[in-house]
Amino acid sequence: MSLRIILFLPLIQVLYFVDSDLVYADLDEQSWRSDTLHQTSTSSSIQQQRTHERINSLLRTNENLSQEIVYKNTNIAKLESAVEKLQKENEELKRRLNTASKSKTVNKELSAIVKQIYQSFSGTECFNISENYGSQHNQTVKNKICDIIKQDHTTYSHVELNDTVRLKFTYEKRGARENQNDVAPAACPKRKRKITARRHSSYESRYKTAKKRGIHTAVMQELSAHDMSDLESENEDTFIVKRPVWRTADIQLALNELDNYSPLLKRRVLGTPSKRSRP
């Protein structure tokens, strides 16, 4: 029995050491797996954190881009509105320029109709020449004339009617001023008669130029022959110009521009201002 124990003792020791090595090997494998899992978990957490940071960065970038797009779209809308406004203003200026550049032809038939209707008016039905054409009273008179014409004549446009009635108002205002401030040439002495005739001639010439060129028409409609300068002959080649003392600088500039389109037959020299009464 003792002999058997002695014989198996080395084998038992070998088995013990082998089993110990297996135990240690198993522990090492478990430790490696634990370390590997820990490293893998740590690496995954870091990667996940980086992914979240990148996503947040992309979201912030996207938000900034969205705000920038909204800002640019707002600016584009403002620019489009400004361009549209400028285009409308440009079209309006072109329309006014075309209207002003066209020489209006007086419709004699329509003028005769307006004259006949206006002659039937009396008192407050007539124009108030002390007011502008656009005043409420004068516009009422204009509308009444247009309404009467439209009843029997439907071929005339609103523009034609308005222009013809306005021209009638201008004639009435001009005639009233001339009757008030100018004595008929036939009743004046010879020298004064010439000066008065020259004022009338000067006014008619400038008025025709204004209509033909489409400039300062409104200014000439507000003026009359009495507003023109006195022209006195110094000799056969020269006129002495005596401008009215009440004439403003703006009116003078307008008259000078109109004179540029008409050649002067005589040289003109500026004299002392005329002290005629203001119309």
Residues 164 and 200 in one domain: no
Residue 10 lies in a domain: yes
Q: How far apart are alpha carbons 144 and 150 in whole angstroms?
A: 10
Residues 122 and 146 in one domain: yes
146-162 pLDDT tens trace = 999 888 877 888 888 88
Pairing between β-strand 267-270 and β-strand 238-242 as defined by DSSP bridges: parallel
> Helices 249-259 & 190-213, crossing angle to 10 degrees?
80
Residues 193 and 265 in one domain: yes
Terminal Cα distance for the chain, rounded: 163
Residues 166 and 203 in one domain: no
CB contact at 8 A, 210 and 258: yes
Q: How far apart are alpha carbons 193 and 186 in whole angstroms?
A: 7
Q: How far apart are alpha carbons 141 and 165 in whole angstroms?
A: 9
Enclosing domain of residue 1: 1-33
Residue 266 lies in a domain: yes
Residue 100 lies in a domain: no
The pairs formed by 126-135 with CB atoms below 8 angstroms and a separation of 24 or more are 126/172, 127/169, 127/172, 127/173, 129/169, 129/172, 129/173, 129/176, 129/177, 133/166, 133/169, 133/170
Q: Which amino acid is at 185?
A: P
* Domain boundary residue, one of 124, 147, 181: 181
Residue 252 lies in a domain: yes
Residue 218 lies in a domain: yes
Residue 65 lies in a domain: yes
Model pLDDT, residue 198: 82
Residues 168 and 199 in one domain: no
Model pLDDT, residue 55: 86
Residues 133 and 172 in one domain: yes
Residue 59 lies in a domain: yes
Q: Best-predicted range by mean pLDDT among 49-58, 208-217, 235-244?
A: 208-217
Residues 13 and 54 in one domain: no
With a cut of 80, say whether residue 96 has pLDDT above it.
no
Residues 154 and 192 in one domain: no
Residues 114 and 152 in one domain: yes
35-92 pLDDT tens trace = 666 666 666 777 777 887 888 888 888 778 878 788 878 888 888 888 888 887 777 7
* Domain boundary residue, one of 132, 166, 181: 181
Residue 99 lies in a domain: no
* Domain boundary residue, one of 181, 210, 229: 181
Residues 194 and 171 in one domain: no
122-143 pLDDT tens trace = 888 899 888 888 889 999 999 9
Region class of 122: left (phi > 0), else alpha (psi between -120 and 50), else beta: beta
Model pLDDT, residue 187: 43
Q: Which of 255, 251, 279 has its CA nearest to residue 268? A: 255
Residues 258 and 218 in one domain: yes
Q: How many domains does the chain have?
A: 4
With a cut of 60, say whether residue 267 has pLDDT above it.
yes
Residues 204 and 263 in one domain: yes
Q: How far apart are alpha carbons 58 and 74 in whole angstroms?
A: 24
